[in-house]
Chains A and B, each alone.
Chain A
């Protein structure tokens, strides 16, 4: 074969070896074997899936770190409530003795009132602005001092609310009952009026959610007035309906030592694993008013110490003791969640390492391999250049001089 001009081949080989050198240099500088999709399309596609998994793991870890201290705060609050209830049982037991003078019972009653105040304070515990015992309603304190009457801010003598006044669709009106320990939530549907709310309250009374005598009426000032006949207990009313305005307690109807729950019974969950969700809040109604009514039992003990018989004090003390047992039972799932979150945190750390390793194997390159590749590319490039330097200047004319 005649060989005429080797320059095009030499130039092509130099370009090829310089491309290889540039690629090897990029591998060393980035630590990546795949710097663009076309370097390895399958690895690039798998990388997309792996990075999505990685982002999920990061988010799960963030969720654990967000929820765990909240749960620990709730557990700590419940621990304080247990301590307070133990103290109340001790006080009740001593108050139930016939040897104790009435004046001293009043003193003990005052101490139990302090215990109740402490329990309410713990029940209204918040973490980073989130009330941990309010159910999903976490922006306002869930336990509020009760009154027998609440009036709407809207409505006046001139323009009174009426039973036919339409309520705002989707609005929520909540009535917490200190006696029953339960909460009625009314969500207005399209077409609902004040009369619909009145009927809902009546139905809740029949169902036992609200105590007997609770009703809604239009008062002399043209306002919606929601009240209860139970002067020793009371209710708490909230509403976000702009037609009703703010529901405010009548200051003359406050009930001493009575508190009602205005949170809800919803439990929110958060994802901390691909198939693992944990509760992020606890309904205070479930913990402190449903079942053995913790707050109600303390209120009863206070009332018994103030004006009851020794037997009534003893009965009230037993109720507090039952509430104490109940609270202890309620702590079990909370402690379980905390334990689960701690375990998940460890698992996620390991999972993150696994994914990072997977990503390294997909698109990364070890420093040793990269350095070897670079060395090889340098050697090849040097050889091509040396060969070009040898071949290019050689012609027959050099020998004819």
Chain B
């Protein structure tokens, strides 16, 4: 082997060590960059040189490429868990805002219901008292207001979530567009034998952001990632993205339409959009149905008692509650007082002056359940349990998915993350390799010098 060959090997070593240092440098620089996947230099031993006489010698080292250390399975699991976490968080956020309305306070439905029954009981001690009669009217209006407030809270939440659907769809379309744009760039780099790690990292981060918004299926192909919705409709294929649309249904709710014009609202189950739709279309309507049923049954029971009695003027009782506006069916949102005159309270069963026989029937509304139903107090308690239970479940799911996501991130970080300690050690390793290669160059230089001065030196 000639000195020139040795020098060439030493230069290759310098280049390899320098390249490895560059990878280490890049890893350290991106140690805290979200989504960064560490790169390792791929070094390859040079093909051996046959020196004859069955003697061969290694031909140095080549820096073949840089390679990102990825785990696609973990990445997919993180995307799925992110969808579940975002869905749970969306539900939890809404329910946490609904919850205080049903928490015991001075103005919740349960308290106002008790206050109404108490005012009626007080009236029974002196049915002719105008102040006690007025108190019944005030308590009735307070209960109606409590029903209105609870209903408004639920419908306001629903309206807010409806707006969120449009915003989420808009963000999804932006992300799919960006993801599709990266596909050909990554494919081109991979075709050229490059890793494309930086662009892949960007794309993974965009897919993760998309997973926070909705459930998507991710598959890899030669053209890059292919994304599709829960019902299998393509969102990204190669360099093309297919935008979702929104429309408004007959009830004023925003629906999600796929690129083929199909309403996919019901099939969206994960991510913020899935959680938002679940809360908007299932959770809140369920609570509203129960609330409306309670308000309607309570009002009907009170109206039945009121119209079966006789008021202070000797006239037949008129309805206690009514639906406001043009509505004909009483619900939590429209319930209001029908009576404005305290003398209209039908305390008597037969018109006897000062009679209170009908007040017992008002009080019985509290304890007698309608056919196939519950007493008003128990019905409200069921509603309270349901709100609490839904919130608690969403909270538990959010906590569980967060914990699971942390574990998955730890695992991914274990594979793809940058360890400063490890990189520091690598730094020393490659520094020493570089110094050693430099020493080889220096030694060969000395040998060259000795060789070039052969004869002259001896003469000296």
Chain A residues in contact with chain B, CB under 8 A? 1-5, 8-9, 12, 36-42, 44-49, 51-52, 55-56, 58-60, 62-63, 66-67, 128, 130, 134-139, 169-172, 185, 187, 240, 264, 266, 268-271, 274, 277, 280, 395-397, 400
Inter-chain pairs besides A185-B352, A268-B356, 19 sampled, C-beta below 8 Å: A3-B414, A3-B419, A4-B413, A5-B31, A12-B402, A12-B406, A44-B104, A49-B377, A51-B104, A136-B352, A136-B355, A137-B354, A138-B126, A139-B128, A169-B315, A170-B315, A268-B357, A270-B124, A274-B367
Complexed CA–CA distance, A139 and B127 (Å): 10
B355 & A4 in contact (Cβ 8 Å cutoff): no
Cβ–Cβ contact B125 & A9, under 8 A: no
- For B113, B114, B395, the residue with the greatest tally of chain A CB atoms inside 10 Å of its CB is B114
Cα A59 to Cα B132 in complex, Å, equals 14
CB within 8 A of B363: which of A52, A66, A271?
A271
Q: Which residues on the A side are within 8 Å of B417 (C-beta)?
A: 2, 4-5
| A172 and B118 contacting across the interface, CB-CB below 8 Å | no
- Assess A47 versus B406: contact at CB under 8 Å? Given A5-B413, A5-B418: no
Q: Could you tell me if A63 and B121 are in contact, using CB atoms closer than 8 angstroms? A: yes
Closest beta carbon of chain B to A58's beta carbon, Å: 7
Bound together, the chains give a CA A397 to CA B420 distance in angstroms of: 9
Q: Which chain A residue shows the least CB distance to B380?
A: A48
Do A170 and B384 touch (CB < 8 A)? no
Q: Residues of B contacting A280 with CB < 8 Å?
A: 124-126, 356
Shortest beta-carbon distance, B180 to chain A, in Å? 30
Knowing A51-B114, A395-B420, A396-B424, say if A41 contacts B351 (CB, 8 Å): no
Q: CB-nearest residue of chain A relative to B100?
A: A36
Which residues on the A side are within 8 Å of B104 (C-beta)?
44, 47-48, 51
Stretch among B41-49, B52-60, B386-394 lining the A interface: B386-394
Question: Which residues in window 355-398 of B have CB below 8 A to A?
Answer: 355-357, 360, 363, 366-367, 377-378, 380-382, 384-389, 391-392, 395
Once A37-B391, A170-B351, A277-B360 are accepted as A-B contacts, the answer to whether A271 and B31 lie under 8 Å apart by CB is no
Minimal beta-carbon separation of B114 from chain A (angstroms): 4
Knowing A8-B406, A49-B377, A51-B104 touch, does A136 contact B314 (C-beta < 8 A)? no
B236 lies within 8 A of chain A by Cβ: no
User: Is B152 among interface residues, defined by CB-CB distance under 8 A?
Assistant: no
B421 at the interface (CB under 8 A from A): yes
Q: Given the known inter-chain contacts A2-B417, A41-B385, A44-B388, please indicate yes or no for A171 contacting B314, CB distance below 8 A.
A: yes
- Select one of A5, A41, A266, A397 contacting B352, CB under 8 A: A266
Count of B interface residues, CB-CB < 8 Å: 71
13 contacts between A and B (CB under 8 A): A9-B406, A36-B103, A41-B389, A45-B384, A47-B104, A52-B113, A52-B114, A63-B121, A134-B354, A136-B356, A137-B354, A171-B314, A268-B354
A3-B419, A45-B382, A48-B110 are contacts. A38–B391 as well, Cβ < 8 Å? yes
Instruction: Give the residue of A4, A48, A55, A56 whose beta carbon is less than 8 angstroms from that of B418.
Output: A4
Contacts of A52 in B (CB 8 A): 110, 113-114, 366, 377
A269 with B414, Cβ < 8 A, contacts A48-B380, A172-B314, A280-B125 known: no
Contact of A59 among B121, B127, B377, B406 (CB under 8 A): B121
* A1 nearest CB neighbor, chain B only: B414
CA–CA, A1 to B410, complex, Å?
10
Contacts of B409 in A (CB 8 A): 8
Known: A136-B354, A268-B354. A51 touches B314 (CB 8 A): no
Return chain B residues, CB-CB under 8 Å to A138.
126, 128, 354
Q: Which A residue's beta carbon lies closest to that of B391?
A: A38
Whether B354 contacts A42 by the Cβ 8 Å rule is: no
A268 to B341 Cα, complex, angstroms: 22
A269, B102: Cα distance in complex, Å? 34
Residue of B313, B385, B387 near A42 (CB, 8 A) is B385
**Contact residues of B between 109 and 167, Cβ < 8 Å to A:** 110-111, 113-115, 117-118, 121-122, 124-128
* Contact between A48 and B384, CB atoms less than 8 A apart: yes
Whether the Cβ atoms of B425 and A396 lie closer than 8 Å is yes
Task: Given A38-B391, A170-B314, A400-B428, answer yes or no on A55-B115 (Cβ-Cβ < 8 Å).
Answer: yes
- Smallest CB separation, A254 vs chain B (Å): 25
Known: A4-B419, A170-B310, A268-B124. A37 touches B384 (CB 8 A): yes
Query: Within the complex, what minimum Cβ distance (angstroms) separates A386 from chain B?
Result: 21
Taking the complex as formed, is B415 at the interface, i.e. its CB lies under 8 A from any CB of chain A? yes
B388 cross-chain contacts in A, Cβ below 8 A: 36-41, 44-45
The answer, among B118, B313, B381, B420, for a CB contact under 8 Å with A45, is B381
Residues of A within 8 Å of B387, CB to CB, are 37, 41
**Which of B360, B384, B417 gathers the greatest number of chain A CB atoms within 10 Å?**
B384
Q: B99 interface residue, CB < 8 Å from A?
A: yes
Is the Cβ of B353 less than 8 Å from the Cβ of A136?
A: yes
Q: Are A2 and B422 also in contact (CB < 8 A) when A37-B102, A38-B392 are?
A: yes
Would you list which residues of chain B between 80 and 125 have a CB under 8 Å from chain A? Answer: 95-96, 99-100, 102-104, 110-111, 113-115, 117-118, 121-122, 124-125
